[in-house]
Amino acid sequence: MPSEIFDVERNDECVCGSGKKYKKCCLSRVEKIQTSILKAIDEEVSVTTEGREFLRIVSIMFGIKLNVDEAKADIERLSRIILQAWDEEEQGLIGSDEELMETVEKILSDKPKMKSVRIPGFLLGEIDTAADDEMEEVVTEILDSLNVEEFLIDIAYSLQTDNYTDEEIKIIFHWISLGLLAGFARGFMLPILNVSLKEIDEAKEKLEKIFDRKKELNQDEMDEFFRINAEYPVFEEYLSARAIRDVQDDLNDIMDGKISFKFPFYIIYAFYLKLFAAIVKMFGDVINVLGNSDNFSNYFLDTVDEFLQEEVIFEKVYDCIHNTLAEAKENTDDETLKAKLSKVLDFFSLFNSEQFFVMKNIFFNSLHGYLSKLPQPLDDSGITVKSIDDIVKPEIFKQYVSYLESKGLKKETDYLKGIYNEIENEAIP
Ligand SMILES: [Zn+2]
């Protein structure tokens, strides 16, 4: 049996995703369940090594806290079902593999919380574009890149929150056993793959009805589009992956310095203040961290992510990128560039999850561009920063804030002041 399935030590991060250590989070619940099931089962049959491993996995699945009010582990029921399942396996009564797979597929489609047990959509795009004779190879590659453990927590969540008959739980247990057996993980993955592909087809069909090669969608059609995306998360991922692939080359060309995105300085300023706030919170001062480039780049990347996810920033950055592209398209006489910009604008016009990464890259490049050209003026304020340290200096901050106020940008001013206060509060012991 592969040992990597829930190979979790006491001091490791808990599998439930709480971020706490396992021993301080779910360990005691898991151990309690494991001991109780083992005791109940031990009275009936002697448990093999494989059997013990299976019980450990089931105990983790029912013992971890998944935002469920209480662990719904009914020991008596679980023990009975496990005994039945083992008895069937021993007597060869499970039925054919196809029957098992079909039932599993039905459970995967019908139980609401099983919706998240899917092959990631960006991988499914690879299957869609593979030539017929490469198909099997691509499928194998995808299935090999995934491991059973990634799915067990989601299955546990469904087992704890959806309603299951004893018979259905037994089927799930047969299916999981298959995933735990060395060499059989493919059998475990296949029903997940089948359901994922089936849903993409379903969603495509629904979408084709509303799109019908139209360029612009009206509000009702947009709503329908978002509803389909929400109903089929795997499809949304898949579409995003396709969208980015279609536009990647054009995007690279445009990013290659042909277009420069100028963000209003207060966005760049807000970002650096956020970054300093995060660093000061952790280390008490900025200067030492600035000297250590490893630390610095970690904080930098985390902060870009967090920062862009703030709604007010996301909108501003999105608008700036969109407007820059639209303006460039309007103003260029280069027909090739115009066509490329058109495609990239299409990519930005319908929401997809890849956009965030593209926006992050554009923003990241712009920050980099800004810093590499220091000293730089701050918008048209007449203030100039000479180095990155200048940005957090109180006098520069004060001057820039009064410049923003004089422009009537109150919301922006308040936002910057809020972050600056955070740094001051943290920095003063
Ligand atoms: Zn936990």
Which pLDDT value is given to residue 2?
46
Which pLDDT value is given to residue 1?
43
CA-to-CA distance for 201 and 88, rounded, in angstroms? 35
Going by pLDDT thresholds of 50, 70 and 90, the confidence category of residue 429 is very low
Least confident range of 140-154, 292-306, 409-423? 292-306
Cα–ligand 1 centroid distance for 152 (angstroms):
14
Contact criterion met (CB below 8 Å) for 109 and 197: no
- Closest-CA residue to 35 (of 75, 91, 83, 92): 75
19-55 pLDDT per residue, tens: 899 999 999 999 999 999 999 998 888 888 889 999 9
Q: How is the chain split among helix, strand and coil, in percent rounded to 5?
A: 75, 0, 25
CA-CA distances (angstroms) from residue 300 to 314, 367, 368? Answer: 17, 11, 11
Residues 6+ apart with CB under 8 A from 376: 370, 384, 385
Mean pLDDT, rounded, for 302-316: 84
Residues 6+ apart with CB under 8 A from 245: 125, 129
Cα–ligand 1 centroid distance for 160 (angstroms):
15
344-398 pLDDT per residue, tens: 988 888 777 788 888 888 888 888 888 788 888 888 888 888 887 787 788 889 9
> Is a pLDDT exceeding 80 seen at residue 280?
no
Which pLDDT value is given to residue 222?
78
Mean pLDDT, rounded, for 250-273: 83
88-135 pLDDT per residue, tens: 888 877 667 788 899 999 999 999 999 999 999 888 888 877 788 888
CA-to-CA distance for 307 and 364, rounded, in angstroms? 12
Q: How many CB atoms lie within 10 A of CB 418?
A: 12
Cα–ligand 1 centroid distance for 54 (angstroms):
19
Query: Following CA atoms 172, 173, 175, 178 in sequence, which dihedral angle do they give, to the nearest 10 degrees?
Result: 170
Ramachandran area for residue 2 (φ above 0: left; ψ -120 to 50: alpha; else beta): beta
Strand partners, 13: 21
Cα–ligand 1 centroid distance for 21 (angstroms):
8
Cα–ligand 1 centroid distance for 299 (angstroms):
26
Residue 404, judged by CB atoms within 10 A of its CB (0-12, 13-18, 19+), counts as buried
Going by pLDDT thresholds of 50, 70 and 90, the confidence category of residue 179 is confident
First CA to last CA distance, the chain: 54
> Is a pLDDT exceeding 80 seen at residue 426?
no
Residues lining ion ligand 1 (Cβ < 5 A) are: 14, 16, 18, 25-26
Which pLDDT value is given to residue 376?
83
Cα–ligand 1 centroid distance for 247 (angstroms):
41
Pairing of strands 384-385, 376-377: antiparallel
Cα–ligand 1 centroid distance for 180 (angstroms):
22
Going by pLDDT thresholds of 50, 70 and 90, the confidence category of residue 241 is confident
**Unique residue bearing structure tokens 């001062």:** 285
Residues 6+ apart with CB under 8 A from 139: 127, 193
Which pLDDT value is given to residue 56?
93
> What's the chain's average pLDDT?
85
CA-to-CA distance for 347 and 394, rounded, in angstroms? 41
CA-to-CA distance for 150 and 252, rounded, in angstroms? 33
Cα–ligand 1 centroid distance for 158 (angstroms):
16
Cα–ligand 1 centroid distance for 149 (angstroms):
15
Contact criterion met (CB below 8 Å) for 147 and 4: yes
